[in-house]
Amino acid sequence: SSKLPRNSSRTRVKNRCIFMGHPRSVYKLFRISRIVFCEVISKGSLIGINKSCWSSVE
């Protein structure tokens, strides 16, 4: 076994989502995972970020 605790590593703590604790695909600027990021954007909770629309305009 290791002498140091698991969460003593800075990268282990830093690279996790602050809501879900998800370790992969975490946006460093917001510290949230892509799943939470998509939910937050669709609700409109992040100021200055809009969900893009690629539908054709005629």
- For 35, residues 6+ apart whose C-beta sits below 8 A from its C-beta are 20, 22
DSSP 8-state code for residue 24 = S
Q: Give the span between the Cα atoms of 14 and 18, in whole angstroms.
A: 9
- For 22, residues 6+ apart whose C-beta sits below 8 A from its C-beta are 16, 33, 35, 36
Domain boundaries, the chain: 6-43
CATH architecture of 6-43: Orthogonal Bundle (1.10)
Q: What are phi and psi of 33, to 5 degrees?
A: -75, 165
Q: Give the span between the Cα atoms of 46 and 28, in whole angstroms.
A: 15
Looking at residue 42, its pLDDT comes to 85
Tell me: the pLDDT tens digits for 6-53?
777 776 667 888 898 888 899 888 889 999 998 888 888 888 887 777
